[in-house]
């Protein structure tokens, strides 16, 4: 299959800083592709270059066989892009903003109505349709911005951390909408700091220091983990994590919500003994301790080390 988005050895510098440093990326047609990586890895720069807002210093870029630098007009006809900080018209109401973008993208009336209903159900902005955008809460603004981006169906959709500030309920529904669009054949490239969102993509690319380190399906990512991982649950996770950290015998100790992930190069049994001994010393009782497969986030942490 040919790639819908194609980046070959792309570089971009800001002064002395290399934001993108020989980046290669292929996004397949009708694929939902996630971009993850630490802050400042180059995700936003990449997305801006793809939609023609910035120009790469070197490298070859094609979106559906279009060069964003020279064919940006043609490209914009079938490209949707939502920047990290999308600005709405603060003095327009929710409805007026939506209508403006629907007009802008020339969405047909019957399609518009259907899409609008779908978007209002995800955003729960229906009761506030006559409120000016300026008077919305932070998350409501973000959801309105998302709605304005999704009011039409582009062929390629680029989203830069779309769900920042969006509550968990709306976040799930938003990803349901994305999944539907993908089903309709839209190619989606989305950067996100949420690992559960990354897990919903077809493939994930991990970007670090302007390069793609890994691209793979979420299911294959845990296989990249090289160490042994133990999951520990206690009543005082923070104190426990600090105690295990202080022990010094483990390569990584991370609190994951209500549990702790401890990793080391050794085998599970000896690790378990060492953790138990350590926590006993600190009078912290263990509720649960077991070896677990790595999550995407564990791999993320390991890749960065």
Ligand X SMILES: Nc1ncnc2c1ncn2[C@@H]1O[C@H](COP(=O)(O)OP(=O)(O)OP(=O)(O)O)[C@@H](O)[C@H]1O
Q: Which positions lie near another protein, rule CB under 8 A?
A: 14, 36-40, 44, 84, 124, 128, 135-140, 142-143, 161, 164-172, 193-195, 237-238, 254-258, 297, 300-301, 304
Nearest distance in Å: CB 255, another protein? 7
Which among Mg ion, another protein, ligand X, none contacts residue 174 (Cβ within 5 to 8 A by kind)? none
Please say whether the beta carbons of 100 and 88 come within 8 A.
no
Stretch that binds ligand X, among 19-27, 135-143, 215-223, 243-251 (CB under 6 A): 135-143
Nearest distance in Å: CB 62, Mg ion? 40
Binding mask 136-165 for ligand X (x = CB under 6 A): xxxxx-------------------------
Residue number, 59 or 193, with CB nearest to ligand X = 193
Please say whether the beta carbons of 115 and 154 come within 8 A.
no
Residue number, 136 or 244, with CB nearest to ligand X = 136
**53 touches ligand X (CB under 6 A):** no
Stretch that binds ligand X, among 5-13, 117-125, 134-142, 288-296 (CB under 6 A): 134-142
Distance CA 47, CA 156 (A): 12
Would you tell me which residues interact with Mg ion (CB under 5 A)?
137-138
Please say whether the beta carbons of 125 and 143 come within 8 A.
yes
Nearest distance in Å: CB 219, Mg ion? 35
Angle at 75 between CA 59 and CA 33, to 5 degrees: 65
Residue number, 15 or 127, with CB nearest to ligand X = 127
Nearest residue to Mg ion, by Cβ distance, number only:
138
DSSP states of the chain: --EEEEEEEEEEEETTEEEEEEEEEEEETT-EEEEE--TTSSHHHHHHHHTTSS--SEEEEEETTB-TTT-HHHHHTSEEEE-SS----TTSBHHHHHHHHHHHTT--HHHHHHHHHHHHHHHT-GGGTTSBGGGS-HHHHHHHHHHHHHTS--SEEEEESTTTT--HHHHHHHHHHHHHHHHTT-EEEEE-S-HHHHTTSSEEEEEETTEEEEEE-GGGGGGG--SEEEEEEES-HHHHHHHHHHH---SEEEEETTEEEEEESS-HHHHHHHHHHHHHHTT--EEEEEE-PPPHHHHHHHHH-
Nearest residue to ligand X, by Cβ distance, number only:
139
Residue number, 109 or 257, with CB nearest to another protein = 257
Exposed, middle or buried: residue 18 (CB in 10 Å: 0-12, 13-18, 19+)? middle
Residue number, 135 or 246, with CB nearest to ligand X = 135
Which among another protein, Mg ion, ligand X, none contacts residue 258 (Cβ within 5 to 8 A by kind)? another protein
**Count of residues interacting with ligand X (CB under 6 A):** 6
- Kindly tell me which residue out of 74, 77, 104, 135 binds ligand X, with binding defined by CB under 6 A: 135
Binding mask 77-116 for ligand X (x = CB under 6 A): ----------------------------------------
Nearest distance in Å: CB 171, another protein? 7
Nearest distance in Å: CB 149, Mg ion? 21
Residues near ligand X (CB under 6 A): 135-140
């Amino acid at each position: 299959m040919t790639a819908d988005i194609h980046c070959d050895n792309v570089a971009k510098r800001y002064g002395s800083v290399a934001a993108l440093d020989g980046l290669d990326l292929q996004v397949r047609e009708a694929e939902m592709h996630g971009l993850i990586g630490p802050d400042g890895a180059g995700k936003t720069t990449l997305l801006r270059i793809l939609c023609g807002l910035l120009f790469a210093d070197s490298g070859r870029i094609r979106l559906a066989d279009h060069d964003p630098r020279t064919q940006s007009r043609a490209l914009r006809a079938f490209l949707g892009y939502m920047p990290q900080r999308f600005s709405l018209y603060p003095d327009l109401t929710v409805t007026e903003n939506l209508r403006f973008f629907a007009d802008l993208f020339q969405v047909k009336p019957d399609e518009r109505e259907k899409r609008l209903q779908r978007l209002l159900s995800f955003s729960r902005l229906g009761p506030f349709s006559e409120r000016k955008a300026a008077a919305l809460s932070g998350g409501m603004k973000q959801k309105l911005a998302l709605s304005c981006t999704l009011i039409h169906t582009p062929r390629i959709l680029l989203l830069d951390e779309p769900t920042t500030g969006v509550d968990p309920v709306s976040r799930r529904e938003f990803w349901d909408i994305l999944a539907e669009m993908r089903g309709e054949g839209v190619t989606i490239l989305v950067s996100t700091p949420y690992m559960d969102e990354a897990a919903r993509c077809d493939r994930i690319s991990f970007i670090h220091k302007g390069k793609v380190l890994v691209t793979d399906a979420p299911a294959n990512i845990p296989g990249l983990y090289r160490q042994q991982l133990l999951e520990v649950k206690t009543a005082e996770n923070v104190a426990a994590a600090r105690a295990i950290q202080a022990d010094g015998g483990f390569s990584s100790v991370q609190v994951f919500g209500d549990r702790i992930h401890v990793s080391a190069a050794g085998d599970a049994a000896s690790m378990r003994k060492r953790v138990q001994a350590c926590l006993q010393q600190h009078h912290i009782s263990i509720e649960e301790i077991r070896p677990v497969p790595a999550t995407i986030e564990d791999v993320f942490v390991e890749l960065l080390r």
